Chains A and B, each alone.
Chain A
């Protein structure tokens, strides 16, 4: 993408949010919404600035990012381990996949009480919960990526008498990369969902804690501030992965990669 094209993209994508913000602000200042239910955008911004001033904002963001980072890495690591074993070895698939699929169908929040019981209200239980959430989308996409590798490309490797290791390294891994990266982005999205859940249920710090705090002190501007921060951070981390994806998959012949 050229510089100016990206610029136009940002402008086009920004029109709707800007219009909505203006309408929201106008309606609030007209008194259509009660401020104790829906504060104006400026009030939300004020509370963010307030939090930033006393320094607690950075602590909240920091701890949330820390949890999601560790949970994400743990979940992705396990997904790579299980996903490649299940993807490469049909026997492993028959042994492991049914169990993993059964685990997947458990609504992940159902784990919360168990994790709390086992690990208490600690960082460990939160990170474990996030890792569980991240694991499944990443695992599923990796497995389908590996199993979906074009048999015709593998045959080319066979004609060159590649060993199994070479086949994996030189054909299967690069060919399944697109699907894996889709899984990573999906996993990250779920990770953000779960960090909220984990922090709602027992935390003294973090953006999710701000939500609870806002509710308990009847401060909707704090709740909204937290939601806005989640949106910004979520978008930011996703853009980061999207950038990695674009770099790694520039060879793909798809619409978005056309120059």
Chain B
């Protein structure tokens, strides 16, 4: 479906976003991409979306090299990015081509799917954040993309709306059968939604681990197995406190941040 072979993205200023990423996404698979901030997760999505074309390595969609923006790829951004001058139904059908009557019907169908029937004539300013993101989901699905890229789609929402929309996403995913690539910094979200997790670490980001999430769906958010995997991920990302105590001792910090030590000794503090 989607294949990446040693893809590296370098910014015009010479800095690397991520390095030598290779993986393959199967049809109808949900891949979560997890990493601390700055590890190039969003840059990765932009490259696959075709919005950034400056990269090395190769990206194949259905065995064909990616050229620009692929028509079978849909994107859901962190913000809804609705056109404020269009009402909900026109926003949903924004990317559709051809006969406007058919487009409207199709848009209506997807509005029902995301639970916004009756809001067709509302304008974005009248919607809550969660509703606006639902519209964005409908807009990206209405073109029936084979690959759906999601860039921290729920990170701006409150905890409850977030959970609702995660369930909604799974629901529409079952129906639409797209392959999904979900970038997130929320480990619970990644474990709840994904079949497979790619863990990125460092600057530039590198793939450190691929974790299979085998828990069957529907998953329980409180599942013990997921909790264990969460612990594993936290360790991979170096986010756990040392076992001996909550506070890490000083030497440890210096080992991890040689630059900080150098700076301190330069100031004569070390």
Contacts and interface: CB of A to CB of B under 8 A. Distances in A.
Given A159-B51, A159-B69, A159-B74, A152 B81 contact: yes
Interface residues of A, number: 18
A179 to B, nearest CB: 13
A238 B219 CA distance: 61
Interface residues of B, number: 21
Contacts, number: 48
A253 B79 contact: no
A250 B83 CA distance: 13
Contacts of A156: 77, 81, 83, 94-95
B94 A252 contact: no
A161 B125 contact: no
A257 B79 CA distance: 23
Nearest to A161: B69
B119 interface: no
B71 A251 contact: no
Interface in B56-91: 68-69, 71, 73-75, 77, 79, 81, 83-86
B143 interface: yes
A252 B84 contact: yes
Contact of B77 (A152, A171, A174): A152
A64 B81 CA distance: 46
Given A159-B49, A159-B95, A160-B95, A153 B81 contact: yes
B35 interface: no
B124 A251 contact: yes
Contacts of A174: 83, 85
A253 B71 CA distance: 32
Contact of B85 (A155, A158, A251): A251
Contacts of B77: 152, 155-156
Interface in A225-254: 250-253
A160 B51 CA distance: 11
A158 B51 contact: yes
Interface string B36-70: 00000000000001010000000000000000110
Contacts of B85: 174-175, 177, 251
Interface in B114-164: 123-125, 143
B71 A252 contact: no
B263 to A, nearest CB: 36
Contacts of A257: 125
Nearest to B75: A159
B83 A171 contact: yes
A120 B127 CA distance: 58
A257 B84 CA distance: 13
B83 A161 contact: no
Contacts of B94: 156, 160, 170
B125 A252 contact: yes
Nearest to B149: A159
A253 B82 CA distance: 13
Contacts of A158: 51, 69
Contact of B84 (A159, A160, A170, A253): A253
A158 B84 CA distance: 17
Interface string A151-167: 01101101111000000
A163 to B, nearest CB: 11
A153 B81 CA distance: 6
A257 B124 CA distance: 13
Interface centre among A160, A174, A257 (most CB of B within 10 A): A160
B207 to A, nearest CB: 25
A217 B111 CA distance: 72
Interface centre among A153, A156, A171 (most CB of B within 10 A): A156
B83 A160 contact: no
Contacts of B83: 153, 156, 171, 174-175
B12 to A, nearest CB: 16
Interface of B: 49, 51, 68-69, 71, 73-75, 77, 79, 81, 83-86, 94-95, 123-125, 143
Give the top 9 A-B pairs by smallest Cβ distance, nearest first. Answer: A253-B125, A160-B95, A251-B85, A174-B85, A251-B123, A159-B75, A156-B81, A251-B84, A161-B69
10 contacts: A152-B77, A152-B81, A153-B81, A155-B77, A155-B81, A156-B83, A158-B51, A159-B95, A160-B95, A175-B85
Given A159-B74, A161-B68, 8 more contacts: A152-B77, A155-B81, A160-B94, A174-B83, A175-B83, A177-B85, A251-B85, A251-B124
